[in-house]
Amino acid sequence: MVKQELLDILRCPACVREKEGLLKLYKDSWLICQDCGRKYPIIEDIPVMLIDEGSKWSATSEDQLPVPPPSIQ
């Protein structure tokens, strides 16, 4: 599980320069940007904060996100 202290400081790397980029924790497996809708997977308790990775899931609705997220290849 990701520590709350880390969740408090993490922001969406795509939005943080122009917007707040606040992230919402979803099912302890995803961080969802409240500004752009990118969805960043949490794999083995490590948030994968790569813009490309978050963009892959932006069109997927929350209820369709795989839990746990698939491994990155």
What CATH number is given to the structural domain containing 15? 2.20.25
**What confidence tens digit (pLDDT) does each residue in 11-43 have?**
999 999 899 999 999 999 999 999 999 999 999
Q: What pTM value is reported for the model?
A: 0.91
- The pLDDT of residue 52: 96
The pLDDT of residue 62 is above 90: yes
Quote the tokens at residue 33. 């940007």
- The pLDDT of residue 33: 97
How many domains is the chain partitioned into structurally? 1
72 in a structural domain? no
Higher pLDDT, 35 or 2: 35
10 in a structural domain? yes
56 in a structural domain? yes
- Report which DSSP code applies to 64: G
Give whole-number Cα distances, 67 to 21, 42, 59, in Å: 23, 10, 16
Residue 44 structural domain: 4-64
**Phi-psi category of 15—alpha, beta or left, where left has phi over 0 and alpha has psi -120 to 50?**
alpha
3-state secondary structure of 41: strand
28 in a structural domain? yes
